Structure 1
Amino acid sequence: MDDSVSVRDSVLDILSGVLDIEVGDLLTQPVLAAHEWDSISSLEAFAALERHFGIELDLRAFHATRTVDDLVRLVDKTPAQA
């Protein structure tokens, strides 16, 4: 991914939709576990991120993310599928 700002904004929008919270809440409290981050929301976010960015995320790396910024870095470093 080239544009980190755009990636961050998109990740925030996706998480906001999956968790049904405002982006501002994610910015104020970026720790995912502080929100309704459970196995269902995690899988929804995983699928939405892969679909939106056209990538295939490493599931173990995804589960290791703890914050919004961790997730942004993971998405940003994952190459797009051809």
Structure 2
Amino acid sequence: MTELDDTASVVLNTLSEVLGKPIGELRAREALATHGWDSLSSLEALSRLESRLAVTLDLRAYHAAHTVTALIDLVAAAATSNAGAGRRG
């Protein structure tokens, strides 16, 4: 399993918990709005993702991620950036 797979798994599990939807349903219907994504679920997912993955997500980019894949890509990029910064220190 790759680092991207690990990150995708964390994102999918977090979305599943927050939205109360099975992962298969999240993958089948990519648009977060179709799963009841609102301001409260968005903030809950943000808090959990940042905590679980030790990342800080750009809020504008986070709110612009309207699909499951876009959110996975955003979180993966932040995780990679944080890992790279940690290696340089």
TM-score of the superposition, structure 2-length normalised?
A: 0.85
User: Which aligned pairs between 1:4-15 and structure 2 lie closer than 5 A?
Assistant: 4-15=4-15
User: Which aligned pairs between 1:47-66 and structure 2 lie closer than 5 A?
Assistant: 47-66=47-66
The aligned counterpart of 1:28 is 28
The aligned counterpart of 1:74 is 74
| Partner SS for 1:56 | coil
Gaps of 5+ in 2: none
Task: Note the C-alpha offset of 1:9.
Answer: 1.0
Structure with higher RCO (Cα < 8 A, 6+ apart): 1
After superposition, give the CA deviation of every residue in 1:32-75 in whole Å (9 maximum; x if it has no partner).
01111000000000001100100110000000001111001101
Deviation >4 Å, runs of 4+: none
Gaps of 5+ in 1: none
Aligned CA RMSD, in angstroms, stands at 1.4
CA distance in structure 1 between the partners assigned to 2:76 and 2:22 by the alignment:
22
Percent identity, aligned pairs only?
A: 41
Q: Highest Rg: 1 or 2?
A: 2
Aligned length in residues: 81
